[in-house]
């Protein structure tokens, strides 16, 4: 089952196209990271998925075929927005009571137990809680609905390292213990490398790259070799290159049977390095299947 599936999805705000021709299928059972520069369309995609906006064009379904925003979809999706929205003048207990009354399913005993475990006093107003406590309160309200899909829009951007680590630990526990699928938008690449097993890269309102992290990392390598020979690759879809006077570093797509060109070395790629390469080259597109095969020497690169 796909928790989110789109086909030619588009969203415009007046003359501005925030999302266009977006086709994507995110399978269930993953912690999926949504990455891209500001203005890439990440929040627009998330808002469409949770029913806070309607598409201008194309199709979107969630949780195996439900229309986004339908009652069945709303019952199965929990959303924590970027600013962890809480009524600052309400106590944590009042927030639990309000959320229970606004949802058809809400496990108040679970929420109370979790706040007690975290040491968050229910009588304290939400606005008086620390940033980490506010984020945990918002996450508790979401998880107490026992969603099938948890959508998080930049939830850790304003948190200190400890609060960020604790927040993400809770998300991972929910994914592992309760089988919750997670779609997480974030700029904190180091944190995503620790938690995500599925990656979606966006740029200019389009999907650049999508797939399981292990598969994507296996399909990319950094080649290190003489700068004088790096121009041999210019006509091929190199994702990103850095060229010094003597040595060049090229991040490229590879397949399992590719041979390293003579005089070059291949190095594995980490998630943060891969994401940064695509962020630096927003026009780069990851082509399906093997991009190139190498033979004996760099002059014999073929596509």
15, 243, 279, 287 from 283: Cα distances, Å: 22, 19, 9, 12
What is the tens place of the pLDDT at every residue in 66-116? Answer: 999 999 999 999 999 877 778 999 999 999 999 999 998 999 999 999 999
Q: Which CATH number fits domain 2-211: 1.10.10.10, 3.40.120.10, 3.40.50.300, 3.30.360.10?
A: 3.40.50.300
CB 8 within 8 A of CB 59: yes
Look at residue 297 and tell me whether its pLDDT is greater than 80: no
The domain limits of the chain are 2-211, 219-300
Q: Which residues contact 295 (CB under 8 A, 6 or more apart)?
A: 259, 301, 302
What's the 3-state SS for 217-247?
HHCEEEEEEEHHHHHHHCCCCCCEEEECCCE
| Paired tokens of 208 | 């650049």
> How high is the pLDDT of residue 294?
40
Q: Per-residue pLDDT averaged across 257-265, rounded? A: 74
pLDDT band at 302 (very low <50, low <70, confident <90, very high): very low
> How high is the pLDDT of residue 233?
64
What is the tens place of the pLDDT at every residue in 45-70? Answer: 999 999 999 999 999 999 999 999 99
Look at residue 5 and tell me whether its pLDDT is greater than 60: yes
Look at residue 170 and tell me whether its pLDDT is greater than 90: no
| Paired tokens of 153 | 């829009």
Q: Per-residue pLDDT averaged across 218-247, rounded? A: 78
Average pLDDT of the chain?
A: 85
pTM, two decimals, is: 0.85
> How high is the pLDDT of residue 256?
63
Cα 299 vs. chain centroid, distance in angstroms? 38
| Higher local confidence (pLDDT), 100 or 263 | 100
> How high is the pLDDT of residue 251?
86
Q: Per-residue pLDDT averaged across 163-176, rounded? A: 87
252, HSE (Cβ side, Cα atoms, 13 Å): 30
CB 208 within 8 A of CB 253: no
Q: What CA–CA distance (Å, rounded) separates 134 from 95?
A: 11
Q: Per-residue pLDDT averaged across 274-287, rounded? A: 72
Look at residue 250 and tell me whether its pLDDT is greater than 50: yes
> How high is the pLDDT of residue 62?
96
| Paired tokens of 223 | 């080649």
> How high is the pLDDT of residue 292?
38
């Amino acid at each position: 089952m796909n928790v989110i599936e789109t086909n030619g999805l588009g969203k415009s705000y007046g003359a501005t196209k925030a999302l266009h021709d977006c086709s994507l299928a995110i399978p269930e059972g993953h912690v999926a990271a949504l990455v891209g520069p500001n203005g890439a369309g990440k929040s627009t995609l998330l808002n469409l998925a949770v029913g806070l906006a309607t598409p201008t064009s194309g199709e979107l379904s969630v949780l195996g075929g439900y229309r986004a925003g339908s009652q069945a979809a709303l019952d199965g999706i929990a959303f924590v927005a970027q600013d962890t929205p809480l009524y600052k003048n309400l106590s944590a207990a009042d927030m639990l009571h309000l959320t229970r009354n606004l949802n058809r399913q809400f496990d108040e005993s679970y929420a109370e137990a979790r706040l007690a475990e975290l040491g968050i006093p229910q009588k304290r107003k939400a606005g008086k809680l620390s940033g980490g406590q506010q984020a945990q309160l918002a996450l508790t309200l979401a998880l107490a609905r026992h969603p099938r899909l948890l959508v998080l829009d930049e939830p850790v951007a304003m948190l200190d390292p400890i609060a960020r680590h604790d927040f993400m630990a809770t998300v991972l526990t929910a994914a592992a213990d309760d089988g919750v699928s997670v779609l997480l938008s974030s700029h904190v690449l180091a944190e995503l490398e620790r938690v995500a097993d599925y990656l979606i890269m966006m740029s200019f309102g389009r999907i650049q790259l999508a797939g399981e992290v292990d598969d994507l990392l296996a399909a990319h390598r950094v080649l290190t070799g003489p700068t004088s020979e790096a121009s041999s690759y210019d006509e091929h879809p190199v994702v990103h290159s850095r060229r010094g006077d003597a040595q060049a570093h090229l991040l490229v797509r590879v397949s399992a049977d590719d041979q390293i060109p003579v005089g070059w070395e291949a190095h594995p790629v980490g998630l943060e390095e891969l994401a940064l390469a695509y962020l630096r080259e927003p026009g780069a597109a990851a082509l399906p299947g093997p991009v190139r095969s190498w033979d004996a020497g760099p002059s014999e690169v073929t596509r």
